[in-house]
Amino acid sequence: MSFEQQFDAIENEITEEGDAPPFFSRPGGKIFIIWLVFTAIGVVIGVFAPHHLLPGLQSGTGSDVWATIVFFTVLAAPVAAFVYALAFYSLLAWRPKKSGSSDEPPPDGPPQRGNGPLTILWVGISTLLVIVLLVWGMTVWSSQQVAHDGALQVNVTGQQWLWTYEYPGTGVTSRTLELPQDRPVEFNVTALDVIHGFWLDTMGIQTDANPNENTVIRTTPTTLGGFVVRCSQLCGLNHAFMNNKGSVVTPTQFGNWLVSQGATTSAAAKSADVPESSLTPSSTSTTTAAPMNTGASQ
Amino acid sequence: MADPEKSQEDERKSPAFGVVATLLGVFAFIVAVGVFFSSQYYTSPSGTVVAQSLGTTEVNGQSMPHVALNFQTYPNSTGSRNAQGTGPGSVPVHSSGSDSWPAYGMSNVFQVPAHSLVTVTVHQYDSGGPLNNPWFSKVHGTQDGTATVTTPDGTSSTVSSWDQNNIGHTFTVRGVPGYDPNFFLSVPLPTNADLPNNEGSASNQDNGQSYTVTFSFISGGKGTYAWNCEAPCGQMVAAFGGVMSAYGFMSGFIHVV
């Protein structure tokens, strides 16, 4: 007896009717309808939920990540919906009718073996889905690995329990991350103690900060505004407090910020890639490190 | 005589009632445990050190309360007990950990008023060494970006940083999400290993051989802020294990009220 014949026999037995009912009145048809509904719900959630659950976007990398999440969710929706539909229908339709009664659950269906077309179908669909996801993921990933000439270098150091950011060539090290708009940035990420996770969710980038290792991650901020840098690896006692504010500003504002942090106007202009004349010299004098245990003054 | 049908119905209901009761009980237990640990997290067995009022002062043309906050850093937590005196009132800075660990004292929980000028005086009794990150050798977030360091002989110097190889501890405060996240303060506390008669013992702590570090900052809005030491004064990985990974000795909270 073929699989279809076995399945029909079971369905007929369940429905207790001699003639096979219409497809949508049989369990298979009902599961199919439930699957369609669940798939539609999953697709709607996949398309619209990110607008409510994901942070705002401040870079092309973030847009790529957003699109990837939506695409993967939509592709996964029919698969998940099939599992849920099957479970949902089974729990409702094939349960004992009365709690505590002596009704026995219906007999198990026949083993799903020896059905070549069905096997080819699910293996084929699974393979196709995985290949599509792999190609999509590798394409997005490789697009983020492209180095840009003239990218702003930022040395990111994680330690328990603070991030510090060094801007090479300016002498500026800060605990806040300032980035110029529309300028490629290369983050050189490392750690001083344990493994931390450098995570800018609005930029769509995250990488581990490993001791004695330099990991490069790139993005191009496109949207002005603030963001939060978080540690994404559980790193110890005050991990929960290991976050700080950052912001994307115009190149001129970025240059002026470097000056306010102690950089010379020439170094700031070079780093910000703006004319030196566009920067405002800092009105506040920078503090100078005092030597150790010397120069007592009352 | 009991109705057999009703009795059967009760039997059928009782499992559901038991399940619901069990779930509620487990939920209540989890909530109780969470509330207990949460309440312990923000407190210290040695109490809260409340800043003392110094009246009002004017900063940048704005009048605000002025308070003084005093605390110490000890080579081991018994120093915190000694500072309180012996007897029933002598309690550790925290119930866990080791007495041999360095500790802030007499408590790790402080309280200051919001939007006030807070003048902090720290007696640093502990030795130290090099920092992992020289950035913490600089003074951040204080008034004028400086701190005043006074030696035992009364000589003072105003500094904006300290030798990164001779730091005992740092007092680093940060805003936490929800409460003024931009707030940040970090002051290096010099090692006093060069001072005489200081080997980090409890008895020497009482000799008063310490550097005194004074600085002022303007407190943020109301809320709870986290502080910790950023000098590698612990054990194991990068010297941030042991005492540095145990709440209560090199970390705590500032309640801004």
Model ipTM value:
0.77
In sequence order, the 6+-apart residues with CB closer than 8 A to the CB of A283 are none
Q: What is the pLDDT of residue A101?
A: 60
Does residue A242 sit in the same domain as residue A222? yes
* B222 neighbors B183 (Cβ within 8 angstroms): no
- Residue A283 reports pLDDT greater than 60: no
Confidence label for B88 from pLDDT (cuts 50, 70 and 90): very low
Model pLDDT, residue B199:
46
For the cut 60, the answer to whether the pLDDT of residue B87 exceeds it is no
Q: Clarify whether residues A180 and A132 are in a common domain.
A: no
A positions 172-191 inside 8 Å of B (CB):
173, 175
Cβ A175–B194 below 8 Å, yes or no? no
Report the range of poorest mean pLDDT among A79-83, A124-128, A238-242, B234-238: B234-238
With CB atoms and an 8 Å threshold, state whether B159 touches A243.
no
Predicted pLDDT at B80: 56
Quote the pLDDT of residue B204.
46
Asked if the structure places residue A109 within a domain, the reply is no
Distance CA B22, CA B8 (A): 22
Q: Which DSSP state fits A214?
A: -
Residue A135 sits in the same domain as residue A86: yes
CA distance A9 to chain B (A): 35
Same domain, A257 and A130: no
Query: Phi and psi for A127 in degrees, rounded to 5?
Result: -65, -45
- Contacts with B, A 48-77, CB within 8 Å: none
- State which H helix or E strand residue A46 sits in: helix A27-53
- pLDDT value of position A278: 87
Q: What torsion do the CA atoms of B152, B158, B164, B166 make, to the nearest 10 degrees?
A: 0
Q: Rounded to an integer, what is the distance from CA B154 to the centroid of its chain?
A: 27
Same domain, A225 and A157: yes
Predicted confidence band of residue B183 (pLDDT cuts 50, 70, 90) = confident
Examine residue A291 and state whether it is found in any structural domain, yes or no.
Answer: no
Helices and strands in chain A, H and E counts: 6, 10
For residues A32 and A80, state if they share a domain: yes
Domain co-membership, A79 together with A169:
no
Q: Taking CB atoms and an 8 Å limit, are A292 and B172 in contact across chains?
A: no
Chain B interface, mutation test: which of A98, A102, A160, A165, most B Cβ atoms within 10 Å?
A: A160
Work out the minimum CA distance from A98 to partner chain B, whole angstroms: 11
- Min distance B144 CA to chain A CA atoms (Å): 9
Residue tagged 């802020």 (tokens)? B225
> What is the nearest CA distance from A225 to chain B, expressed in angstroms?
15
CA dihedral B99, B105, B108, B109 (to 10 degrees): 140
**Whole-number Å distance between alpha carbons of B251 and B228:** 4
Contact B230 A297 (CB under 8 A): no
Question: What does the pLDDT read at residue A253?
Answer: 94
Average pLDDT over every residue of A114-134: 89
In a domain, A215, yes or no: yes
Q: Which residues of B touch A159 (CB under 8 A)?
A: 132-133, 230, 238
Answer with the residue of higher pLDDT: B15 or A284. B15
Q: Is the pLDDT of residue A77 over 80?
A: yes
**CA of A239 vs chain B CAs: smallest distance (Å):** 10
**With pLDDT > 90 as the criterion, what percentage of chain A qualifies?**
48
A291 has a pLDDT exceeding 70: no
The per-residue pLDDT for A298 is 26
For testing contact with chain A, the best of B5, B228, B243, B247 (most A CBs within 10 A):
B228
Chain A residues touching residue B240 (CB < 8 angstroms): 160, 193-194, 236
Residue A102: inside a domain: no
Interface contact flag, A237 B244, Cβ < 8 Å = yes
The verdict on residue A87 lying in a domain is yes
Strand order in the sheet with A172-174: A172-174, A162-167, A152-159, A185-191, A215-219
Chain A closest CA to B176's CA: distance in Å? 6
- A105-114, A200-209, A236-245, B101-110: range with lowest mean pLDDT: A105-114
The Cα of B174 is separated from the nearest Cα of chain A by a number of Å equal to 8
User: Using alpha carbons only, what angle is made at residue B243 by residues B148 and B120, rounded to the nearest 5 degrees?
Assistant: 20
In this predicted structure, the answer to whether residue A72 has a pLDDT above a threshold of 50 is yes
Distance between A173 CA and the closest CA of chain B, angstroms: 8
Judged by CB atoms closer than 8 Å, whether chains meet at B228 and A161 is answered as: yes
Asked if A157 and A175 sit in the same domain, the reply is: yes
Q: How many domains does chain A have?
A: 2
Using CB atoms, which residue from A161, A228, A287 is nearest to B146? A287
B22 touching A (Cβ < 8 Å) = no
CA distances from B117 to A105, B41, B59, B64, B69 (A): 75, 27, 8, 7, 10
Looking at every residue in chain A, the average pLDDT score rounds to 84
Cα–Cα distance, A29 to A8 (Å, whole number): 12
Query: Would an 8 Å CB–CB cutoff place A293 in contact with chain B?
Result: yes
- The more confident residue out of B33 and A21 is B33
Confidence of residue B105 (pLDDT cuts 50, 70, 90): confident
A243-249 and A177-180 beta bridge pairing: parallel
**What gap in Å lies between CA B52 and CA B47, rounded to an integer?**
15
d(CA A97, CA A103): 7
Residue with the bigger pLDDT between A88 and B208: it is: A88
* A100 → closest Cβ in B12, B194, B245: B12
Min distance B52 CA to chain A CA atoms (Å): 25
Q: Testing the interface with B: which of A247, A287, A294, A297 to mutate, by most B Cβ within 10 A?
A: A287
Q: Which of B12, B133, B161 sits opposite A290 (nearest CB)?
A: B161
Whether pLDDT at A296 is above 60: no
Residues in chain B: 257
pLDDT given at position B50: 92
A49: phi then psi, degrees, rounded to nearest 5: -60, -40
Residue A7 placed within a domain: yes
Report the mean per-residue pLDDT for chain B: 81
Q: Is residue A292 one of the residues assigned to a domain?
A: no
pLDDT tens-digit map of B185-241: 999 999 876 666 554 444 445 555 778 999 999 998 888 888 999 999 888 888 888
Q: Which residue has the higher pLDDT, B239 or A76?
A: A76
C-alpha A150/C-alpha A275 separation (Å) is 15
Same domain, yes or no, for A179 and A258?
A: yes
Predicted pLDDT at A287: 36
Query: Which 231-290 residues of chain A touch chain B by CB within 8 A?
Result: 236-238, 240-241, 243-245, 287-290
Contact of B234 with B241, CB cutoff 8 Å: yes
Residues 29-88 of B with CB under 8 A from A: none
Half-sphere exposure of B3 (CA within 13 A, CB side): 4
Residues A80 and A158 in one domain: no
- Per-position b or e across A61-98, b if 16+ CB within 10 A of its CB: bbebbbebbbbbbbbebbeebbebbeebbeeeeeeeee
Same domain, A208 and A139: no
Averaged over B41-69, what is the pLDDT? 89
Contacts of A76 (CB under 8 A, 6+ apart): A42, A46
- Provide the whole-model pTM: 0.77
Question: A184-212 pLDDT, tens per residue?
Answer: 999 999 999 999 999 998 998 999 999 99
pLDDT at res. B86: 46
Whether B242 contacts chain A with CB within 8 A? no
Domain containing residue A201: CATH number: 2.60.40.420
pLDDT above 90 as % of chain B = 39
Section A273-287 average pLDDT: 70
Interval A223-277: pLDDT, tens: 999 998 999 999 988 898 888 889 999 999 999 999 999 899 999 998 888 988 8
Say yes or no for a CB contact (<8 Å) between A238 and B155: no
Residue A298 lies in a domain: no
- The string of pLDDT tens digits covering residues B127-180 is 888 998 999 999 999 998 999 999 888 889 999 999 999 999 999 998 776 667
Whether B244 sits inside 8 A of A290 (CB atoms) is no
What domain range includes position A157?
Answer: 152-278
Q: What CA–CA distance (Å, rounded) separates B172 from A257?
A: 23
* Shared-domain flag, residues A8 and A90: yes
Average pLDDT for residues A154-166, to the nearest whole number? Answer: 93
Residue of B nearest to A101 (CA): B12
